[in-house]
Structure 1
């Protein structure tokens, strides 16, 4: 599944530094994810504009053993999208945030990723919905008029991993936002 509409070009090795530092940024100082301040709104607005998404759609998550794949971050089908891959690179899941609602009535009617022709099953699990269709499954987290989907291949990413990702969904703080951005060669946003 292509994550971006545009052809991605290889970035110089220095662009990988923020990706390599991401685990440190996400876990540094034992900061509680809810205790950290949300990213500066001007910085978030500028980043969202660069990605061609609304700022209120920018969300991140954290799961031990997974890091965001920086080159995947951006707009996809009118949603904010980011791919997270395991440290060994063998598995990945996607985070997609778009406007909408999810209820018991409309949950099975909304397609799940590319399995749009498959029957969708929905199970309410805490504040989220666990959804499955064909070989794909996801946790969908409705939040303030936005639904954040954490989707993966059911044979490669287990339900517990997606559940942990759903429980950790939040708006990015400054360090998390910086980790999503491409290397600007020292220039600011």
Structure 2
């Protein structure tokens, strides 16, 4: 039985923990790269000596998430912050991300293979490169803000991308189990004997 006195500190922390959910801000690393600050390899992430992270590593991290590096686009919208936990896959190998504002408004960005001709209602679509479409829509967002966010769609700089991608997976040593025999097929011996 949990005594009320022991549970009280946890109950007092609960509102603070719930408030923190979804408010994670990504370090954008200074926004877009300056013009001429790097070159963009075919389909990959823009390279820059000041990025601190290799473009090939960023591409590998994207591919590990199931995202094609050439389909990663972001936007700039005044008053909106990228929600790092929203970064994910859209469609087969596309990219999706959401931005939030203090007033509860949310912008959604989806980048996939396709054409702006197939733009669904409620979204503003841009075709930055033939065969790639970026859709921007929102909740509690004025139409001009959505259009402005669609007009500001761009490829992220390496620093910007590194700021919101999950960290690269690290190799871990295998777990050594003490209940596995060193002989036979290695299956645990669960025998209990007679009457078991």
Alignment TM class, shorter chain as reference: 0.5 to 0.7
Residue 90 (structure 2) pairs with residue 90 (structure 1): no
Among candidates 60, 63, 68, match of residue 74 of structure 2:
60
Q: Which runs of 4+ in 1 moved over 4 A?
A: 31-36
Label 1:171 to 1:43 Cα distance change in 2 as closer, same or farther (>3 A): farther
Alignment of 1:32-181 (within 5 A): 34-37=35-38, 38-39=46-47, 40-78=54-92, 79-86=94-101, 88=102, 90-102=104-116, 107=117, 110=118, 112=120, 133=121, 137-144=122-129, 145-153=131-139, 156-181=140-165
Label 1:184 to 1:55 Cα distance change in 2 as closer, same or farther (>3 A): closer
Structure 1 portions without partners, runs of 5+? 1-9, 113-132
CA distance in 1: counterparts of 2:150 and 2:30, whole angstroms: 16
Label 1:164 to 1:68 Cα distance change in 2 as closer, same or farther (>3 A): same
Higher relative contact order (CA 8 A, sep 6+): 1
CA distance in 1: counterparts of 2:105 and 2:74, whole angstroms: 18
TM-score, scaled to structure 2? 0.59
Structure 2 portions without partners, runs of 5+? 1-16, 39-45, 48-53, 171-196
Deviation at 1:139, TM superposition (A): 1.3
| 1:6 aligned partner | none
Classify the secondary structure of the residue corresponding to 1:151: strand
Label 1:26 to 1:91 Cα distance change in 2 as closer, same or farther (>3 A): farther
Label 1:52 to 1:32 Cα distance change in 2 as closer, same or farther (>3 A): closer
Counterpart contact for 2:119–2:125, Cα < 8 Å:
no
Deviation at 1:50, TM superposition (A): 2.2
Counterpart contact for 1:63–1:168, Cα < 8 Å:
yes
Classify the secondary structure of the residue corresponding to 1:60: coil
Look at both structures and tell me which one has the larger radius of gyration over its CA atoms.
2
In the alignment of these two chains, the number of paired residues is 135
Deviation at 1:183, TM superposition (A): 4.8
